[in-house]
Amino acid sequence: MYKAELIINRDFRKSEISPLIYGSFVEHMGRVVYSGIYEPGHQEADEDGFRKDVIEKVKEMGVTCVRYPGGNFVSCYDWRDGVGKKEDRPRRRELAWKSIETNQFGTDEFVQWSKKAEIVPVFAVNLGTRGVENAVSLLEYCNLPVGTAYSDFRCENGHETPYGIPIWCLGNEMDGIWQIGHKTPEDYGKLAAQTAHAMKSLDENIKTVVCGSSSTDVATYTDWERIVLEYTYEFADYISLHQYYGGQEKGTEEFLSQSVEMEDYIQTVIGICDTVKSKKRSGKKIDICFDEWGVWEIPGEDVAGSVASRDWETAPAFSEQIYTMEDSLLFASMLMAMIKNSGRVKAACQSLLTNISAAIMTEPGAEVWVQPIFYPFSYMSKYGRGTLLESVLRAPSYLSGKGREIPYLDQVVIHNAEMDELVLYLVNRRDEAAEVHVDMQGFCAEHAAEHTVLFHEDIKADNRSDHEKVKPHTAVVTGTQKTRIDCKLKPYSWNMIRVRVKSNE
């Protein structure tokens, strides 16, 4: 057993945590929409064809916002195909995933689903094959009161009240050669600026998200952000970050070290944003929308090859990753990396909501079940609200293959003043138990802490066959004093500790 010490102070406050960092992502890809959230005829389907069992899991997961409709899908999508009478909607050959899109689920259905799921809808517009006109017409359809062509069209389709979509993503991964209509940073920056200018002329209340790099691995990373922001700074509110991690075959410690790379990624993009701000002598701050993130790598699967060889199926099942206990630890640390940077990360979308790299899995015509990654997200969304506190950690560490120093204990501490509690999230990255001592300066514990732990003896265990195999349980806090907590952490475990506190004047 190794020892670690964590010191926090009531007055050392870093940032307020935006609830929108607990978002997710729905794309017309595989079974995310069809037989995921939408399956008319299913025994759990409501009058609109939405699976009520999935909606309940979305609420239980604590999802606050959802980005739609893509993703790569959006770069060939005309939103007009997905509105109006369903019998009149065209079937299209969808190029991003080489499938048939029936358009039985579109803008109106997604907004209706959002209301039932109690989430904030985040829309993406097509800047791949289309541009300003398509984006502005969709914005009018969604957000403007009746009286003009597209808002009247919405009313004709049975929705008189504007939807009021608050956040709009200007394209998707426009730096990627795989993206239909991909662009240079200069060409994308010009188009994004023109689009945002026009959209904000129509609805000054919206927030816009410009595309950052699709990952840190692309050759144009950092140059892309700088150039795009130089064109769009006046009209943008957020820049997007995307990142997926795999590499389980490299060993658990190396695999888990990648969340520290994610922290570096966030800090690098913040630096670029502030460099452009200084160059433009601007008083405006650009925040981050981390609108695609997750653990996504199925050993032996070639997604691009799988797509290329597909024969135009409707809602084909592919890339339906089964997550392990090990995956859940990296997943949790990735979300914690965004909480640590909550001063600038103001929205985020875990990718994807159902079936593909998802926490929620569905069986067509049958049950819904959740993967191990569901639980850290759910507990962090429910209790990870309030103010991030500065924390000082004293713990042993190891060097990753890239030479980074990785603490064996990953941690964030949150003060929820409204609930009068401190919430600690802890990931033990070591195959050895940990004894953790928490010094709470300026706080006084009112009663014993609650300790929830996600742990399994087999780090490769998953919930595919036994849906209850990997799930949280309650552990015992070894000691709670007025200004100190002592606890023991299982090897390779995720932990949440909540303690009711009052200020120690």
Does 130 share its domain with 272?
yes
- How many C-beta atoms surround the C-beta of residue 502 within 10 A? 10
In sign, the C-alpha dihedral spanning 211, 216, 219, 220 is: positive
Considering the domain architecture, whether residues 107 and 212 belong to the same structural domain is answered as yes
Say how far residue 119 (Cα) sits from the centre of its chain: 13
Regarding whether 307 and 170 lie in a shared domain, the answer is yes
In this structure, are 297 and 371 located in the same domain? yes
Write the CATH number for 277.
3.20.20.80
Same domain, 71 and 122: yes
Q: 391 and 375: one domain?
A: no
Q: Judge if 85 and 191 occupy the same domain.
A: yes
Q: Which of 337, 362, 383 is the last residue of a domain?
A: 383
Q: How is residue 116 written in tokens?
A: 């039932």
**Which whole number is the average pLDDT over 377-396?**
97
Per-residue pLDDT of 1-40, as tens digits, reads 999 999 999 999 999 999 999 999 999 999 999 999 999 9
Give the residue, 3 or 302, on which the prediction is more confident. 3
| Nearby residues of 274 by Cβ (< 8 Å), 6 or more positions away | none
Mean pLDDT of 90-117: 97
Task: Please indicate whether residue 450 is annotated as part of the active site.
Answer: no
Residues 329 and 407 in one domain: no
Pairing of strands 207-210, 167-170: parallel
Q: How confident is the model at residue 504 (pLDDT cuts 50, 70, 90)?
A: low
CA distances (Å), origin 257, targets 261, 392, 435 = 7, 19, 21
Tell me the Cα Rg of the chain: 23
Sheet with 99-101: strands ordered across: 92-94, 99-101, 313-314
Question: The domain containing residue 460 runs over which residues?
Answer: 2-12+387-503
pLDDT for residue 310 is more than 60: yes
For residue 308, pLDDT beyond 80? no
Residue tagged 């204990």 (tokens): 409
Q: Reply yes or no on whether the pLDDT at 449 is more than 90.
A: no
Looking at residue 305, its pLDDT comes to 67
173 is catalytic: yes
Q: What is the pLDDT of residue 380?
A: 98
Mean pLDDT throughout 110-133? Answer: 98
Domain count, the chain: 2
Last residue of a domain, one of 383, 411, 446: 383
**Which one of 292, 297, 326, 421 is the catalytic residue?**
292
Is 45 in the same domain as 165? yes
398 and 322 part of one domain: no
Predicted confidence at residue 480, as pLDDT, reads: 81
Q: What is the average pLDDT value for the chain, to the nearest integer?
A: 96
**Which has more pLDDT, 502 or 4?**
4
Residue 505, pLDDT > 60, answer no
Residues 291 and 425 in one domain: no
Of all residues in the chain, the percent with pLDDT exceeding 70 is: 98
Answer with the one of 350, 383, 416 that is the final residue of a domain. Answer: 383
Q: How high is the pLDDT of residue 223?
A: 98
Q: End-to-end CA distance of the chain, in Å?
A: 35
- Pairing relationship of beta strands 238-245 and 207-210 according to DSSP bridges: parallel
Q: Do 379 and 409 fall within a single domain?
A: no
Q: pLDDT grade, residue 481 (50/70/90)? A: confident
Q: What is the pLDDT of residues 105-115, one digit of tens each?
A: 999 999 999 99
Token pair in block for residue 251: 């060993």
- Is the predicted pLDDT of residue 197 greater than 70, yes or no? yes
CATH number at residue 426: 2.60.40.1180
Out of 39, 101, 140, 173, pick the active-site residue. 173
The residue type of 240 is S
